Structure 1
Amino acid sequence: MNIELNAYLDCLGKPHVEILEAGVVEDTPFIEVYPGSLTLYLQPQVGLDLGFLAEDRKMESIIYTLRELYPEEPIFTGELPEPYASCKTRDDVRERFGTPYIMKGPLRLPDPLGEIGGWDVYTMAGEGREHLQVVFKYDVETRVTCISFGLKQ
């Protein structure tokens, strides 16, 4: 796993000020998707979003967008570390990680998202991160569109 992802994973649940002081993120303004949003975002790279709870500014998610779900969606073009880099389809994910502890099949979301292929959720206990989970989201062709990391729910 690369240093950058490890650094972000170590920051999940920590306040923005602490992450800033540690030099993991730059001092840039938060992105508020809509006024009063419960989550604020930082985008250190195109297609990579770090989510923070608006209420207390604690980091809650790391989101890598790998495929466009709507026109002009920013796509991550950097390198993901293994085992994530080789997870291109749901079959790849399940071969690598086994049976998910939570799964959702295909469904229709409001436009512009439309039909999606569902998602699988895995704990990261095997990596010594019992308090974290990883979510793989799929398009209708079961290709991985997004990989997100967060605190286990």
Structure 2
Amino acid sequence: MYQARVRRAVSPQVVETASAVEAEMWALFLAIGTHWQLTDDTDGYRGRLQAFMANRVSLDVAYLGYYALAVDVIADLKAEAGSAQAAYDKLFTIRPSGGEEDSDLAAVKTRVVDEFIAWRLALGGFRDFDALNYRGYFGGAHLPDSPVPYRSRDDAP
């Protein structure tokens, strides 16, 4: 049965994310597509990402801290790895041990990176991996002169 999510009383109704944080989260989002070699057009995704982040913060104000912490963790990884893409690749594949020394990394990995990866792959990755209908997700609106975003009757095997 459906359960409504309860908005926390301390969470802001209107969310304003610092532009530096928003820019880094967008770069992270784009790097996910590069890492997984996704070919979909990301032009319309920036607004969706902003809405996704605002939704997370409105449900749990701690996400403001997670996004700011992600900027710091990514900066540290960039300095260590020598390039932005190498830092992102490490961030996508690392599995934090959960020890005290990588608690910031573990928080960023689970609360930001893994959520962005799942969401990014759902937005357009399923088509690159040859799945037409993945768990009920359709590829977007049906626009004139564009292919239907679902498996049509004509496509049936």
Rg comparison, structure with higher value: 2
Structure having greater relative contact order (Cα 8 Å, sep ≥ 6):
2
TM class by shorter chain equals under 0.3
TM-score normalized by the length of structure 1: 0.25
TM-score normalized by the length of structure 2: 0.25
Instruction: Report which of the two has the higher share of strand.
Output: 1
Instruction: Report which of the two has the higher share of helix.
Output: 2
